[in-house]
Amino acid sequence: MAKLDERRVYKRFDINQAITLTFPKENYINAVGINISKTGLLCKTDIFLDSYTRVFLMLSIPIGNDNKSFSCEAIVIWCQKEDEEYNAGLQFVELFDEQKEIIQNYINELELNE
């Protein structure tokens, strides 16, 4: 695990956030966001996600007293079973400037509360 941490460019911040993952053919699953960085998200799901699968990610990000809806494409980089659930590392794909700003503002708030 230490090697993975050393390769990370951006710091990850713990979250406990309900998210929805949508797959081709309009299949969707609920998941829980575990941590987030500028480039991706770790989530926990009930099902195994194949690596390199493209998903559409939707979550509501609390910023100040407001919630910002956030959605983007992501790629499943890895998925591993842990107890009865699966942890999946997702990498954001081609974020728009507004999306990058929402994530950065969220990370700034999380960093202040550390």
| pLDDT tens, residue order, the chain (114 aa) | 444 455 667 788 888 878 888 887 678 899 999 999 999 999 999 999 999 999 999 988 887 788 888 889 999 999 999 999 999 999 999 899 999 998 999 899 888 887
pLDDT of residue 1: 40
For the chain, what are the domain ranges? 2-112
- Residue 2 has a pLDDT of 42
Rounded to whole angstroms, how far apart are CA atoms 111 and 35?
Answer: 12
**For residues 71 and 74, what is the distance between their CA atoms, to the nearest angstrom?**
9
Contact 23, 48 (CB under 8 A): no
State the sign of the Cα–Cα–Cα–Cα dihedral 54, 92, 109, 35.
positive
Burial class (CB in 10 A: 0-12, 13-18, 19+), 109: middle
Full-model pTM? 0.82
CATH of domain 2-112: 2.40.10.220
